[in-house]
């Protein structure tokens, strides 16, 4: 009667949830929708199936459900506008409010039209940039491990890679295997549409000034780690050379290059909150840098979660660039992908200095221990969290620098050169 | 009456009602009764099954509870590291009799509370090993995420007991809900069956939901207490300086970041932002600004420093200083208006006062002392015009401090600053970084170039001979008379001049257009080789204006400049000497001979000098 395979496929995609979201919220939302559609509008169910299958490649019909009295729909304990709910479930897990959505022109029953029925076809809305949006907080449901920890069943991928195959590295540890290619299938429109607001017209035939990056990561140090407490920088910056490094809350004084103990850093202006938080850093985080392809993984070793803001990682998943990802104990996530950075740099280098310079943001990764920040938290800004670090990735920075130096100066006048 | 206090704390709560206010003689009796009651009575009714070690359970796996206490069976999910899977740990034993309750309620109800790992406990009170076959209640409120995590970590452990338990729990709720709905269906038999069913289901669901939210609240509360993560109750976040800033507009752009005008607690401030990659520069500038006794009329007033994250999720380091409408000296000299000799002298004098204060060590009482400071990046763009005639020194990011025979910061690069303004010994890398005074001498060189920049903007209208020279060859004057190299900025300045020629023939002709030193000789952003060739090999310096000869003060100023940009650092004037000479020039601009120089040099800062000259 209904093609449940399609629905199953959809639920497989739900790899992320918002921080305060019920474990089964998205599933419940889908169940609710199915029931509504079966009851009111069986044709629409097929339309929805079709829309989800072609992912915005083709024109699709409206999928409507009746509008409730206050316009909102309750799923589990959460009440929200129906089109926001289904856009979030099917396309953008980081979506926070209807201010970030705009209906396409073809949509006859869009939310703004205020009709009795409301269209919830996720491909009838596009993402717009809303100002003053707090960073959304997302939690991965699956773990992405660095390649050396891949179990034997997946070792063939590595073998293929060693034999020169260009198989993408981000093999997933979860029961659902998905690679970077699948990522792009999953979210191509999400990424594209988020970019349209700042897209430039590139005249054809403009040469790119991309510098080959083969030598970039032969440097000894691959990152610099700076530790902060609230809005204060604490201790010396640490340059990292070991490819796996643990940043923990203990006081191990031996500096063997594979560990940074935050317990050693002293700060005379430390308050009780910071002290308390430092006690909960515990085993902290393990960072694994894969030198061969420049990707970085973070695994939470602490009993308390860590919170990561990496605009590269957000780009890969098609999230809002400021999204904060919550990583729970033992969960691992790829937080930087050099291949994506390379593609972006190639793209931006055609757009000029400012666009490329903006990529600098991707080379900084911020990570808070124990306490989170963002839309769902009291703390709106990382500089309000008690213990956090910033990681500067050297290879992409050096590479970006090389590209920038081959370009002309910025169109914005630099008033002072020192 | 003789009332006694109960010393035995253990009995404090279990006093029978009629024992309150009992005279002393009765008390002994009460205590006796109590002791008798509290002693475990080894009868079958008090025996529980026990699996702890011998010290507790004895040889026959039995413990004896107190009257009224419970026997328990506790279970806990623990992770077996050796076998890499979850295991259920069972514990049997006797619960204690709790004070005030006469039973073991606290122990027996502990399964209801949130636990980090799945735990539960079941109790029975009738003794006779009743706990041996007791099944504890299902787990509640344990960390779902953690469980999920362990699940994904160990995919083969899908059917761990934990999973079974939670599944069992869910099943129970589902069965409960269906039973409820069946009841509801019977109750509402007249109504449309489907609707009734839906409704009751919804009600049942709502009930479980409210239970759940309560539990999450409990969980988050407990997390808050132990400072765990999660969105818990409101904790007040400390406001910092950044939250009091209202950004108005961007006023400058550099490689380090931006300078913006902002409103801070009712007054305008300038906010300079740094990327975290330039932390050293930010930290150094902040530290220099926060040096003891650095406050000076001619040094930019520092307000605050902060770190914050911008909306685009970039960490920025901020330096907040006073804001001055007139902008940098470079901007000020670029205006159409020209300067009078007096204005120029005062501008230069105030700059030198600032530099002199930086260079000097000042000693206060106790540990208060200002170290000697070398600026290392003096140029007209780094000097701010506070108000007409008064400048202040800004941009201390590269400054070095000399304290207790040590140079701070300890790690620094020698060849930094703006190459155009760099002293020859720096360009040729001959400066000895161990000798701090050499950095100060390099500052004087850069200051001499700034003096020239100011001086060429003076309107000299006393000499007609010069005027005609200017009028006949305006192009020449723009490129400072030396070299005809085609640099972009040279072209621009020449275009500017032609424009002003057309527009204001009478006013701006007499003074030259503002140009940076060596304009037309070196490129816009010159490299070391280029600068080395110009200032070390060819020893070119900015050309003095011919007209200056006719103005005694400018003539003197020109001599001071030439002394100060001398190739040999030791031949240059000190900042103190320059300051005194400038004060004298301002006071007595028309002096012709050297003999008049012996005038008191008591004025120590520009403010004093200003008032002194105003009186005369």
Q: Cα(B513)–Cα(B335) distance, rounded to whole angstroms? A: 9
pLDDT band at residue B30, thresholds of 50, 70 and 90?
Answer: low
Could you tell me which chain A residue has the CA closest to the CA of B156? A175
Q: Tokens 């902002």 identify what position?
A: B262
Residue B528 has pLDDT above 80, yes or no: yes
Looking at residue B392, what is its pLDDT? 96
Taking an 8 Å cut-off on Cβ atoms, the answer to whether B146 and A371 are in contact is: no
Residue B365, phi then psi, degrees to nearest 5: -80, 155
Other Cβ atoms closer than 10 A to B144: 13
Bridge partners (DSSP) listed for residue A138: A18, A325
Final residue of a domain: which of A127, A142, A158? A127
**Segment 354-373 of chain A within 8 Å of chain B by CB:** 360-361, 364, 366, 370-372
A19 inside domain: yes
Q: State how far the alpha carbon of B594 is from the alpha carbons of A266, B565, B597, B598, in Å.
A: 60, 21, 6, 9
Which of A138, A177, A231 to mutate to test binding with chain B, by most B CBs within 10 Å of its CB? A231
Catalytic, out of B342, B377, B443, B590: B377
The answer to whether residue B377 is catalytic is: yes
Looking at residue B168, what is its pLDDT? 59
Taking an 8 Å cut-off on Cβ atoms, the answer to whether A381 and B308 are in contact is: yes
* Same domain membership, residue A233 and residue A91: no
Taking an 8 Å cut-off on Cβ atoms, the answer to whether B227 and A370 are in contact is: yes
Could you tell me which chain B residue has the CA closest to the CA of A228? B307
The tally of domains found in chain A comes to 2
Query: How many contiguous H segments (helices) and E segments (strands) does chain A have?
Result: 12, 19
Taking an 8 Å cut-off on Cβ atoms, the answer to whether A23 and B144 are in contact is: yes
Average pLDDT over residues A259-285: 91
**Structural element, H or E, at residue A102:** strand A101-103
Looking at residue B345, what is its pLDDT? 94
**Structural element, H or E, at residue A236:** strand A232-240
* Same domain membership, residue A123 and residue A230: no
What is the tens place of the pLDDT at every residue in B485-518? Answer: 333 343 444 444 444 443 444 444 457 788 899 9
Taking an 8 Å cut-off on Cβ atoms, the answer to whether B314 and A321 are in contact is: no
Residue A41 has pLDDT above 60, yes or no: yes
What is the tens place of the pLDDT at every residue in B258-285? Answer: 899 999 999 999 999 999 988 999 999 9
A143 inside domain: no
- CB B38 within 8 Å of CB B11: no
* CB contact B152 to A (< 8 Å): yes
Q: Cα(A356)–Cα(A408) distance, rounded to whole angstroms? A: 12
* CB contact B430 to A (< 8 Å): no
Range in A245-254, A272-281, B168-177, B327-336 the model is least confident about: B168-177
Which comes out higher in pLDDT, residue A325 or B99? A325
* Same domain membership, residue A364 and residue A243: yes
Residue A166 has pLDDT above 70, yes or no: no
* Same domain membership, residue A229 and residue A120: no
Nearest chain A CA: its distance from B63 CA (Å): 36
* Most confident stretch, A133-142, B187-196, B293-302, B459-468: B293-302
Q: Cα(B45)–Cα(B64) distance, rounded to whole angstroms? A: 9
Nearest chain A CA: its distance from B37 CA (Å): 45
Final residue of a domain: which of A80, A107, A127? A127
Taking an 8 Å cut-off on Cβ atoms, the answer to whether A370 and B229 are in contact is: yes
Q: Residue A342 is encoded by which pair of tokens?
A: 């390379």
pLDDT band at residue B202, thresholds of 50, 70 and 90?
Answer: low
Which comes out higher in pLDDT, residue B400 or B594? B400
DSSP state of B301: P
Residues of chain A with pLDDT > 70, as a percent, come to 76
What is the tens place of the pLDDT at every residue in B548-599? Answer: 888 899 999 999 999 999 999 999 999 999 999 999 999 988 865 444 444 4
Looking at residue B100, what is its pLDDT? 63
Looking at residue A53, what is its pLDDT? 84
Final residue of a domain: which of A79, A104, A127? A127
Which of B309, B319, B415, B416 to mutate to test binding with chain A, by most A CBs within 10 Å of its CB? B309
Sign of CA dihedral A335, A336, A341, A342: negative
Q: Residue B197 is encoded by which pair of tokens?
A: 């069913």
Residue ranges making up the domain that contains A385: 223-405
**Structural element, H or E, at residue B401:** strand B400-403
Side-chain half-sphere CA neighbours of B298 within 13 A: 25
Q: How many CB pairs (< 8 A) connect A and B? A: 143
Nearest CB among B307, B314, B417 relative to A228 is that of B307
Nearest chain A CA: its distance from B566 CA (Å): 23
Nearest chain A CA: its distance from B467 CA (Å): 33
Average pLDDT over residues A297-317: 92
A237 inside domain: yes
Could you tell me which chain B residue has the CA closest to the CA of A136? B313
| Set of chain A residues whose Cβ sits within 8 Å of the Cβ of B149 | 143, 328-331
pLDDT band at residue A299, thresholds of 50, 70 and 90?
Answer: very high
A317 inside domain: yes
Looking at residue A181, what is its pLDDT? 36
pLDDT band at residue B166, thresholds of 50, 70 and 90?
Answer: low
Residues of chain B with pLDDT > 90, as a percent, come to 36
* Same domain membership, residue A378 and residue A270: yes
The CATH number for A27's domain is 3.90.520.10
Residues of chain A with pLDDT > 90, as a percent, come to 23
Looking at residue B512, what is its pLDDT? 79
Is residue A320 annotated as involved in ligand binding? no
Average pLDDT over residues B306-332: 90
| Set of chain B residues whose Cβ sits within 8 Å of the Cβ of A23 | 144, 148
Looking at residue B237, what is its pLDDT? 80
Radius of gyration of chain A (CA): 23
Q: Tokens 């700076």 identify what position?
A: A226
Which comes out higher in pLDDT, residue A98 or B472? A98
Could you tell me which chain A residue has the CA closest to the CA of B283? A233
Average pLDDT over residues A70-99: 85
Which comes out higher in pLDDT, residue B559 or A170? B559
* Same domain membership, residue A369 and residue A243: yes
* CB contact A256 to B (< 8 Å): no
Range in A281-295, A318-332, B464-478, B564-578 the model is least confident about: B464-478
A183 inside domain: no
Average pLDDT over residues A316-328: 88
Average pLDDT over residues A333-345: 90
| Set of chain B residues whose Cβ sits within 8 Å of the Cβ of A139 | 145
A201 inside domain: no
A107 inside domain: yes
Taking an 8 Å cut-off on Cβ atoms, the answer to whether B315 and A230 are in contact is: no
Cα A245–chain centre separation: 22
Taking an 8 Å cut-off on Cβ atoms, the answer to whether A132 and B275 are in contact is: no
* Same domain membership, residue A117 and residue A227: no
Average pLDDT over residues A49-76: 85
The CATH number for A371's domain is 2.60.200.10
Strand A101-103, strand A306-310: pairing: unpaired
Nearest CB among A20, A383, A418 relative to B309 is that of A383
- CB B300 within 8 Å of CB B399: no
Looking at residue A29, what is its pLDDT? 87
A214 inside domain: no
Nearest CB among B231, B279, B283 relative to A20 is that of B231
What is the tens place of the pLDDT at every residue in A137-164? Answer: 888 877 777 775 444 444 444 444 444 3
**Segment 41-80 of chain A within 8 Å of chain B by CB:** 76-77
Q: Which burial class, exposed, middle or buried, applies to B48 when counting CB atoms under 10 A from its CB (0-12, 13-18, 19+)?
A: buried
Range in A314-323, A348-357, B92-101, B327-336 the model is least confident about: B92-101
Q: State how far the alpha carbon of B14 is from the alpha carbons of A157, A247, B6, B17, B512, in Å.
A: 70, 52, 11, 9, 101
pTM of the model: 0.63
Nearest chain A CA: its distance from B28 CA (Å): 49
pLDDT band at residue A414, thresholds of 50, 70 and 90?
Answer: low
Average pLDDT over residues B128-143: 79
DSSP state of B245: E
Taking an 8 Å cut-off on Cβ atoms, the answer to whether B235 and A390 are in contact is: no
| Set of chain A residues whose Cβ sits within 8 Å of the Cβ of B412 | none
The per-residue pLDDT of chain B, averaged, comes to 76
* CB contact B332 to A (< 8 Å): no
| Set of chain B residues whose Cβ sits within 8 Å of the Cβ of A384 | 237-238
Average pLDDT over residues A36-63: 84
Which comes out higher in pLDDT, residue B303 or B179? B303
Looking at residue B187, what is its pLDDT? 64
Is residue A119 annotated as involved in ligand binding? yes
Looking at residue A417, what is its pLDDT? 53
Looking at residue B162, what is its pLDDT? 45
Angle, CA of B352, B353 and B355, to the nearest 5°: 60
Is residue A184 annotated as involved in ligand binding? no
Query: How many contiguous H segments (helices) and E segments (strands) does chain B have?
Result: 18, 17
Q: Is the bond preceding residue B409 a cis peptide, omega within 30 degrees? A: yes
* CB contact A132 to B (< 8 Å): yes
* CB contact A167 to B (< 8 Å): no
Looking at residue B459, what is its pLDDT? 85
Residue B252 has pLDDT above 80, yes or no: yes
């Amino acid at each position: 009667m209904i093609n449940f395979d399609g629905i199953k496929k959809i639920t497989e995609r739900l790899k992320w949830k918002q921080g305060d979201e019920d474990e089964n919220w998205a599933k419940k939302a889908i169940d609710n929708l199915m029931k509504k559609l079966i009851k009111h509008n069986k044709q629409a169910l097929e339309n929805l199936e079709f829309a989800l299958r072609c992912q915005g490649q083709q024109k699709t019909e409206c999928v409507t459900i009746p509008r409730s009295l206050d316009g909102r729909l309750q799923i589990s304990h959460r009440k929200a506008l129906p089109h926001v709910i289904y856009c979030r479930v099917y396309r953008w897990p980081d979506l926070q409010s209807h201010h970030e959505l705009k209906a396409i022109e073809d949509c006859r029953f869009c939310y703004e039209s205020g009709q009795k029925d409301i269209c919830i076809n996720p491909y009838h809305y596009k993402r717009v940039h809303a100002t003053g949006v707090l960073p959304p907080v997302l939690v991965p449901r699956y773990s992405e491990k660095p390649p050396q920890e891949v179990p034997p069943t997946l070792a063939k991928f590595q073998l293929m890679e060693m034999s020169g195959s260009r198989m993408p590295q981000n093999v997933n540890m979860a029961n659902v295997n998905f690679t970077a290619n699948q990522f792009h299938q999953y979210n191509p429109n999400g990424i594209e549409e988020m970019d349209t607001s700042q897209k430039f017209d590139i005249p054809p035939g403009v040469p790119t000034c991309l510098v080959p990056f083969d030598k970039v990561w032969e440097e000894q140090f691959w990152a610099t780690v700076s530790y902060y407490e609230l809005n204060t920088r604490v201790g010396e910056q640490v340059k990292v050379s070991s490819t796996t490094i643990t940043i923990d809350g203990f006081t191990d004084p031996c500096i063997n290059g594979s560990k940074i103990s935050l317990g050693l850093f002293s700060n005379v202006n430390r308050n009780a909150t910071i002290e308390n938080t430092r006690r909960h850093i515990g085993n902290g985080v393990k960072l694994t840098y894969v030198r061969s392809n420049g990707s970085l993984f973070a695994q939470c070793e602490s009993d308390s979660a860590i919170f990561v803001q990496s605009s590269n990682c957000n780009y890969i998943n098609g999230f809002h660039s400021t999204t904060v990802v919550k990583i729970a104990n033992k969960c691992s996530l790829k937080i930087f992908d050099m291949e994506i950075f390379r593609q972006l740099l190639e793209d931006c280098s055609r757009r000029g200095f400012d666009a490329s310079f903006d990529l600098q943001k991707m080379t900084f990764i911020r990570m808070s221990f124990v306490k989170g920040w963002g839309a769902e938290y009291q703390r709106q800004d990382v500089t309000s969290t008690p213990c956090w670090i910033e990681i500067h990735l050297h290879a992409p920075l050096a590479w970006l620098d090389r590209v920038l130096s081959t370009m002309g100066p910025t169109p914005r006048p630099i008033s002072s050169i020192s | 009456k003789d009332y006694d206090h109960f010393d035995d704390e253990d009995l404090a709560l279990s006093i029978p009602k009629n024992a309150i206010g009992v005279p002393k003689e009765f008390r002994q009796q009460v205590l006796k009764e109590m002791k008798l009651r509290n002693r475990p009575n080894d009868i079958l009714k008090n025996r529980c099954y026990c699996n702890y070690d011998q010290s507790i359970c004895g040889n026959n796996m039995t413990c004896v509870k107190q009257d009224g206490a419970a026997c328990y069976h506790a279970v806990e999910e623990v992770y077996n590291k050796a076998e890499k899977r979850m295991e259920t740990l069972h514990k049997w034993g006797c619960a204690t009799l709790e004070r005030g309750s006469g039973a073991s309620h606290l122990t027996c109800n502990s399964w209801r509370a949130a636990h980090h790992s799945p735990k539960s406990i079941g109790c029975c009170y009738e003794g006779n090993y009743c706990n041996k076959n007791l099944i504890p209640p299902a787990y509640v409120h344990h960390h779902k995420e953690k469980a999920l995590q362990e699940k994904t970590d160990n995919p083969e452990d899908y059917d761990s007991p934990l999973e079974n338990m939670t599944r069992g729990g869910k099943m129970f709720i589902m069965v409960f809900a269906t039973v409820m709905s069946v009841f509801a269906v019977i109750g509402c038999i007249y109504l449309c069956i489907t609707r009734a069913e839906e409704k009751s289901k919804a009600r049942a669901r709502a009930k479980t939901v409210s239970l759940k939210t309560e539990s999450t609240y409990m969980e988050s509360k407990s997390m808050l207490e132990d400072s765990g993560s999660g969105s818990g109750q409101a904790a007040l976040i400390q406001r910092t300086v950044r939250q009091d800033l209202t950004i108005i507009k961007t006023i400058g752009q550099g490689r380090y970041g931006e300078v913006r005008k902002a409103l801070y607690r009712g007054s305008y401030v300038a906010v300079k932002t740094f990327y975290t990659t330039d932390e050293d520069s930010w930290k150094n500038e902040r530290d220099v600004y926060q040096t003891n006794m650095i406050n000076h009329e001619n040094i930019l007033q520092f307000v605050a420093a902060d770190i914050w994250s911008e909306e685009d999720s970039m960490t920025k380091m901020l330096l907040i200083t006073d804001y001055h409408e007139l902008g940098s000296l470079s901007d000020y000299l670029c205006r159409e208006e020209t300067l009078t000799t007096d204005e120029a002298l005062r501008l230069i004098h105030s700059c030198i006062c600032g530099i002199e204060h930086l260079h000097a060590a000042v000693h206060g009482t106790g540990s208060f002392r200002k170290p000697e400071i070398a600026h290392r990046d003096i140029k007209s763009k780094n000097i701010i015009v506070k108000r007409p005639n008064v400048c202040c020194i800004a941009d201390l990011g590269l400054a070095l401090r000399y304290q207790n025979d040590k140079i701070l910061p300890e790690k620094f690069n020698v060849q930094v600053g703006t190459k155009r303004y760099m002293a020859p010994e720096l360009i040729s890398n001959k400066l000895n970084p161990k000798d701090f005074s050499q950095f100060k001498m390099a500052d004087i060189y850069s200051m001499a170039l700034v003096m020239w920049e100011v001086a060429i903007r003076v309107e000299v209208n006393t000499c007609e001979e010069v005027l005609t020279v200017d009028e006949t060859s305006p192009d020449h004057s723009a490129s400072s008379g030396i070299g005809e190299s085609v640099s972009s900025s040279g072209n621009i300045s020449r275009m500017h001049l032609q424009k002003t020629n057309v527009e204001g023939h009478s006013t701006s002709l007499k003074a030259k257009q503002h140009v940076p030193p060596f304009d037309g000789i070196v490129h816009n952003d010159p490299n070391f080789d280029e600068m080395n060739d110009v200032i070390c090999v060819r020893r070119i310096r900015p050309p003095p204006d011919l007209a200056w000869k006719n103005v005694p003060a400018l003539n003197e100023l020109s001599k001071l400049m030439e002394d100060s940009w001398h190739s040999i650092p030791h031949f240059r004037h000190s900042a103190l000497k320059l300051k005194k000479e400038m004060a004298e020039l301002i006071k007595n601009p028309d002096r012709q001979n050297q003999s008049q120089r012996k005038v008191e040099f008591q004025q120590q800062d520009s403010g004093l000098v200003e008032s002194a000259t105003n009186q005369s």
